[in-house]
Chains A and B, each alone.
Chain A
Amino acid sequence: MIAARVGDEVISVAEVDERARLLYDGPLAARLPHPASPEGRNLRRWLVQLMTMERVVAQECDVRGDAGPAALSVTLPLALRTGGVVASVLATPAGQALFARVEADVPPGEVRAYYDRNRDRHPGPFARESAGIAAQLVQARREALFARWLERRHREKVTLMPGFEHPGDPRQPDATHRH
């Protein structure tokens, strides 16, 4: 039984079950939704998001000769606390290795415009403030590019099987945007 395909690899339902078992045997157990409930099934869907993303990152690392998958350990609470699966990938060494390869530049005009618009934060002369602004804008841009790139690679490589759709997918049977 396959939960998802990632490129040429598969993630089996058994692997998902094992990952879920670790969670349900762990310290969070008492507070996790019942596995048979819609919430429980959506938790499994999140796990699949996490596992497929790990696999995508690992494959990209292989391709690029970066740090191996062992350096990647994404945990669910981390994922949820850092603003999603992508952000949690960013928090791992493998993710950082990939992120290091993302390049972005911000045109000087944009730096100047930001400076002009945000003088409350940058009261000094432009010459003194511009480097800091540029660094900050470049970082924000790189994060956005990385997230978009990773999500696109995930989209391209990953096929989710029925029952393992994205938890936020409104078409999956347990989707409940409750209000």
Chain B
Amino acid sequence: MRIADIAGTELFAEGPRQIVRVTLEGDHPAEVIITGEARGAATGSGVVEVPVTTERRPGETAMITVTAGGESRSAEFEIAEPGWTVWMVSHFHYDPVWWNTQAAYTTTWDTAGEAAQASRSAFQHAGFELVRLHLETARREPGYKFVLAEVDYLKPFWDACPEHRAYLRRLLAEGRVEIMGGTYNEPNTNLTGAESTIRNLVHGAGFQRDVLGGDPRTAWQLDAFGHDPQFPGLAAAAGLTSSSWARGPFHQWGPMLGGGDPRLMQFPAEFDWVAPSGQGVLTHYMPGHYSAGWWMDSSTTVDEAAAEVLKWFLALKQVAATRNVLLPVGTDYTPPNKWIMDIQREWNARYVSPRFVCGLPREFFAAVRAQREAFLPQTRDMNPVYTGKDVSFIDTKQVQRRAEVLVADAEKFATLAAVEKRADYPFALMDKAWRQLVYGAHHDAITGSESDQVYLDLLTGWREAYTIGSETLDGALRTLSAGLSGVVVWNPSSWARTDLVRARLRFPAGWRGIAEAALVENAVLDDDGCLAEADVTFLADDVPPLGYRTFSFTPGGNAGWLPAGGTTIASAAHAITADPSKGGGVTSWRAGGRELLQPGQVGNELVVHDEYPAHPKFHEGPWHLVPKGVREGSSAHPAEVVAERSALGERLVVRGGFGPVRYVQEITLWHGLTRVDLVTHLDFDGADQLVRLRWPVEIDQALPVSEVGNAVVGRGFALIDADTADHPWTLDNPACHWFALSATCRIGSRPIGVAEIVAGPDVPVGKLRALAAALVRQGVTATVSRADGPRYGDLAVDSNLPDVRIAVGETPWPKGWHPAARPLAEVWVPSADLRARDALPVLSIGADDVDALIDDLADAVVEVAGETYEPYTVGLINRGIPGFAVEPNGALNLSLLRSCTGWPSGIWIDPPRRTVPDGTNFQLQHWTHSFEYALVAGPGDWRETGLVREGHDVNHPLTALDQGVSGEPAAASLLDVPGSMVLTALKPAGNPIATGRLPEGVTGMTMRLYEPHGRTADIDLPGWRRTDLLETRSEPDGPVTGMDVVTYTRDAVGGGVAPAAEPFQPVFTRYWLHNTGPAPIGNLPLAVHLTPETVTVASSLVEDRVAGTVTLDGAVTRDFTLEPGAHVAWPNEGWTTASLKYQGQTFEDRLGEATLDAATETTHVAVRAGERSEIVIRLTCDVPVQAQLISPWHTYDLLPLWNTGADPGTAELRFPVVGGHRPGKWWALVKLAYGGKVHYTEPVTVEVLP
């Protein structure tokens, strides 16, 4: 007998008594006795676990003597802390689309094409099967608890499998299932406007709470590639109290990537996540990722699995804020873990701490709250993660921005039309449009990380939102313009505007031009050579907020652009010169007499960066920017530059080409406007390349500033020229409407943007929260760390870097303002580590000085004696081109386009595989693109240069209605909004369809506003009541604090309900099999489903009783009456179709095989401006065919008909092609969906000839 080893553990037996492990050599059992500062005894052989009692405190060391079989040995061990719980949360992460299709992920993965199996893990299942597997486990295991989340599978499952409703309701009542999220899906909130995020919450909470009966409290954003800074505030405003997710503050796989140490985190995993609005939610960051606990599934014994859980406990407890660890047990599409219940049973029979409990996030959060009152506040920017997301499939980001704007503007004016003119409101259409935007905001959709087939499927969603938005806006403005004459210009902004407007006008006989300042283009002339119709652009002066002004013209001479000679253009605000020998790049840009470009550098330059197909180490392609450090710019090649002038302004037109790009750029200065309007048209034929557009401006000390969702924050410089094999993170970021080089806040002469607040032990958490909130209100995000903990600023772990430290209380820095050892640009290098004490400037204050600093921050300037600074701002506004990078030297870069061949580029599930007509993957983007952007420059910070309004206006253009070229003057504003606020939504009060109710007409209006500049606004809105984001509870009125997002509602008498239906009927009930996104128009309040065994009709209504009739095989009928939330089932007597008419639509489910033959008449269509042609598809099918033409952004006017279908039999589908004025080469194909199958026709080249 020999004592081989003595070791303390973190385990406790009943008592609680800490377990000391004593390893004995020899086979015979022996009694092991421990004496000394800890005492206990146990008998055994091999490894003997001896529970001991002690008076020593956790963290202290106990000296002991161990005696066994006559031998005695002294040892010491550390006293551990009992009372820990590991909450094993059984979950599955679910992407409704990614490399595989919506159909496969929802139900048909097992039978989908072989490509759907090639990248599948053995344990993965489709959504319906997953829900069933978890429900079955719950039936067998009374202690089994699990979570469900996304509406993407919950809604179809609720409708198609109503037999599970009662059991699911029971599990909810018993507290065994938690419905997570309060969101529709896991959106990438940093790539959409805040209003899309709000609707995600409205639809998520509406379905999960009202329809399903859950109680979502935790935003469950597991996989989202970073988060919009305002998200925690919006979540709080939607009634959520917590959030949890795996990506944001650190690189994509977290601090534990490659065996990394979680103790590098500067704050515990549980923290108070605070938005620029000052609101926030308690958050659990998953340091071990959302899959951490899943992998024990491959253990072969329960002990091995328990050891795996213990390993995670020991790692994660180091960064837990309380004695609770959340261990996510699940990964993508996983069934219940094999061992989770055995572990709970067997482990807890042996040990009382740590307990391993199969539990729910709400139990975890309740336990966390019970042990601690206050958590460190973090306003840290949870970005960037996966920089490729900002630019891959750039066309989808452009169309989503445009659709989002159109839907929001359509909603505003349709609401005003309903109230002002008693027009019926298109509830169902607008609801569908928002659901399409919400669906497309998913982190494998708007991010461009999807496969080629999924990309095509997603395009139909954005096109539908765009179509509904533009048609509804047009209809509403027509209603509102009734009785007005002349050209009626409508302003969707909540402030008066003077801006350009474009309209297609028809002219009376005899007009050869317009007398007033205008641009007349693309004219159609009558037989006398006079204007019949033309595109007319003019400067609409002083159009009232959310209102109109009419404009009247007289015949005259103004026409289009005329050659001006030279290569310089000028307006009152700017002078710009381009150089043909430098690719047409801008060699001088002067504003207010100041040269803005760096000497010897050119602006508006196109730069092509070579990339890897996928990262050499991480193997990540479309969602990760992977430049090789090799770039080529347009300035090295000659180009043609032409200056032109018109009655409205001057412009430069640049034509050039090099490498994989051929380009046409227009730079326009308009008289009467202070911004520079630009567009770059691009034809691209490269592979694994990134095209950036570069403006190397020079502003001393200025830092990058980025608009985000309803807020503005500072963001660090990017490192875009390093080889990502060695330096994997470029630090690109997504901007909402604009980014700039500016000063969002400053200390003395030093602009600041991203801070580390280093807190001494003497500073209460409440004060830290107030300081962090005051900073972020001025755009300075902050990581709040402890003086004795790790520092923020190491690119090996942190996803972004700070540029200043604010030390509060007892810290190593003497009180005062300490400059950095070296300039920021010198330390901001690839793989930077800015943790050194003097790497950044430090403002060190006492704990008692916090309130004074907060007061000082109200004007975004912390005064320092003897230091002055004159801020200057250059801003770059984008129209759906979010990716940006500001180099440490001040060069602004906009990411235009990217081609990536890395997986899942080109993946195709339902053969035959389709490509761009030249045979390349769609991900490579080989077609004509147009990128619109604008520049703003001026003295002062971004607030003073008016960037918020300018960015909003560029994205929300004025709309003109032709009510005759001449008319009576008139102007009015239809809604009063305080001038200090930005209105982002105006809608009918309530969210009936999202919450399972039938709309009954407009009975009120709701508007959403935000304060954009970080200033407190006293606003007076008589008749309006403050409400929460979901409009379910009233909120106290009061001043609106800086960057807060607020909702107001009021009663109003308005119109009724405008009917709406899908363009093609019947609507296939299992819509997900057609990969068409969210549920059809109306959101399927009543769903009919057919299986070989049963016919079911299920209601998702929460208040209404509904009666109807199901028709089976067109002959037999079954009548039903359903109470709210109820369903009915009949045995299937051999029927293969079931249909149901409801609310003017016919819904149909269908069993059995269907066959389709389809042929495309010609695969190349070329037209000139004004010419028409057609894409003709001939098809034969034995079931109804839904036919959707798919084509990229910028072709919607060219291909105006897209959403149609054909009845069973032989049909010819004709899609018109209408030649426009912008030459280019695009593609189109038609998705044919029939009885749950999909076929994509051969791609057609669609060319507009010059």
Contacts and interface: CB of A to CB of B under 8 A. Distances in A.
Query: Bound pair: A and B?
Result: yes
Interface of A: 28, 31-33, 37-39, 43, 46, 76-77, 79-81, 83-85, 113-114, 117-118, 120-121, 137, 140, 144, 147-148, 151-152, 155, 166-168, 170, 174, 176-179
A81 B117 contact: yes
Contacts of B620: 176, 178
Given A80-B122, A168-B298, 19 more contacts: A28-B118, A37-B903, A38-B619, A39-B118, A39-B119, A76-B117, A77-B117, A79-B122, A80-B117, A84-B122, A120-B166, A148-B300, A152-B300, A168-B295, A176-B620, A177-B331, A178-B619, A179-B332, A179-B449
A84 B117 CA distance: 11
A113 B113 contact: no
Contacts of A167: 121
Contacts of B122: 46, 79-80, 83-85
A24 to B, nearest CB: 12
Contacts of B908: 31
B123 to A, nearest CB: 6
B110 interface: yes
B139 A117 contact: yes
5 contacts: A77-B114, A117-B139, A118-B139, A140-B140, A155-B300
B1120 interface: no
Interface in B766-793: none
B921 to A, nearest CB: 14
A144 B336 CA distance: 12
A80 to B, nearest CB: 4
A114 B142 CA distance: 9
A151 B142 CA distance: 26
B283 interface: no
A42 B199 CA distance: 40
A54 to B, nearest CB: 15
Which 10 A-B pairs give the minimum distances between C-beta atoms? A84-B122, A152-B300, A176-B619, A31-B115, A80-B117, A28-B114, A155-B300, A151-B300, A81-B110, A31-B114
Given A113-B142, A144-B338, A148-B300, A179 B118 contact: no
B223 A179 contact: yes
Nearest to B298: A168
A20 B702 CA distance: 58
Given A31-B113, A152-B301, A178-B619, A117 B142 contact: yes
Contacts of B120: 80
A153 to B, nearest CB: 9
B706 interface: no
Contact of B139 (A46, A77, A114, A174): A114
Contact of A168 (B121, B166, B223, B335): B121
B820 to A, nearest CB: 36
Interface residues of B, number: 37
Contacts of B118: 28, 31-33, 39, 43
Contacts of B618: 176
Interface string B299-311: 0110000000000
A120 B171 CA distance: 13
A33 B907 CA distance: 10
Contacts of A140: 140
B125 interface: yes
A176 B300 CA distance: 23
Interface of B: 110, 113-115, 117-123, 125, 139-140, 142, 166-167, 170, 223, 252, 291, 295, 298, 300-301, 331-332, 335, 338, 449, 618-620, 623, 903, 908, 911
B300 to A, nearest CB: 4
A70 to B, nearest CB: 25
A174 to B, nearest CB: 7
Contacts of A33: 118-119, 903
A100 B324 CA distance: 44
A87 to B, nearest CB: 8
A4 to B, nearest CB: 17
Most buried by A among B114, B618, B623: B114
B916 to A, nearest CB: 18
Contacts of A39: 118-119, 903
Nearest to B907: A31
A28 B301 CA distance: 36
Contacts of A176: 618-620
A92 B156 CA distance: 34
B173 to A, nearest CB: 13
Most buried by A among B291, B300, B911: B300
A120 B301 CA distance: 34
Contacts of A79: 122
A140 B335 CA distance: 14
Nearest to B289: A177
Nearest to A30: B913
Contacts of B449: 179
Nearest to B120: A80
Nearest to B258: A170
Nearest to A144: B338
Most buried by B among A28, A32, A144, A178: A178
B291 A177 contact: yes
A34 to B, nearest CB: 10
A168 B295 CA distance: 9
Most buried by B among A117, A121, A176, A179: A179
A160 to B, nearest CB: 13
Contacts of A28: 114, 118
Nearest to A33: B118
A53 to B, nearest CB: 11
Given A31-B113, A31-B115, A170 B619 contact: no
Contacts of A168: 121, 295, 298
B847 to A, nearest CB: 42
Nearest to B138: A117
Most buried by A among B139, B252, B331: B139
Contacts of A32: 118
A118 B137 CA distance: 12
A176 B619 CA distance: 7
Nearest to A154: B300
Contact of A114 (B140, B167, B332): B140
Contact of B298 (A43, A121, A166): A166
Contacts of A178: 619-620
Contact of B140 (A84, A137, A148, A174): A137
A139 to B, nearest CB: 11
A179 B300 contact: no
A85 B1068 CA distance: 36
Nearest to B95: A179
Contacts of B110: 81
A138 B338 CA distance: 16
Contacts of A80: 117, 120, 122
Nearest to B119: A39
A56 B223 CA distance: 38
A84 B139 contact: no
B304 to A, nearest CB: 9
Contacts of A144: 338
A85 to B, nearest CB: 6
A150 B1134 CA distance: 42
B813 to A, nearest CB: 40
Contacts of B170: 120
A52 B263 CA distance: 40
Contacts of A46: 122
A43 B139 CA distance: 36
A151 B123 CA distance: 14
A178 B331 CA distance: 11
Contacts of A38: 619
Contacts of B295: 168, 170
Contacts of A151: 298, 300
Nearest to A147: B338
Nearest to A82: B110
A166 B117 CA distance: 17
Contacts of A114: 139-140
Contacts of B223: 179
